[in-house]
Amino acid sequence: MIADLQCVVLDCPAPRELSAFYRAVLGGDVDRPDPRWSLGEGWSTLHTPGGLVLCFQGVAGHRPPTWPGPERPQQSHLDFGVADLDAAQEQVLAAGATLLDDGAGTRSWRVYADPAGHPFCLVRH
């Protein structure tokens, strides 16, 4: 092993707001003191109950990916396992997500955009 995964960092226009969105989806602590990162206007963190840390980095002029179009490719996305797709959809939409693809014909996944435009999936487990 060469390294440990410290966190996943997402560029966005408003780090604290995006951190709050993902807290609504995953739970956890926003901007918990951690010696690995300094917190501030341009940086926010979410320590999830499962141990994963998501970090949100402010970027001036952020341009969200387009999905599924290739004009600004998604480059990466997050998948979240859920037991009930319909209930989870209702919750992420109430938290500020936008439905991008309802997975018509699959019944096992759906694609959304977070408030900063990053695609993510809810996947039935």
Classify burial at 50, counting beta carbons within 10 Å of its beta carbon; exposed 0-12, middle 13-18, buried 19 or more: exposed
- Any idea where the domains of the chain sit in the sequence? 8-58, 78-124
Q: Given a cut of 90, is residue 5 above it in pLDDT?
A: no
Q: pLDDT tens digit string along 67-88? A: 888 888 877 888 899 999 999 9
Decide: helix, strand or coil at residue 124.
strand
CATH homologous superfamily of domain 78-124?
A: 2,3-Dihydroxybiphenyl 1,2-Dioxygenase, domain 1 (3.10.180.10)
- Separation CA 73–CA 101 (nearest Å): 16
pLDDT number for residue 58:
94
pTM: 0.84
pLDDT tens digits, residue range 94-117? 999 999 999 887 778 899 999 999
The mean pLDDT of 9-20, rounded to a whole number, is 94
CA distances, 23 to each of 27, 38, 55, 60, 69 (Å): 4, 19, 12, 23, 28
The correct answer on CATH 3.40.50.300 for the domain covering 8-58 is no
With residue 62 as reference, give the H or E element that holds it. none
DSSP H/E element including 110:
strand 109-113
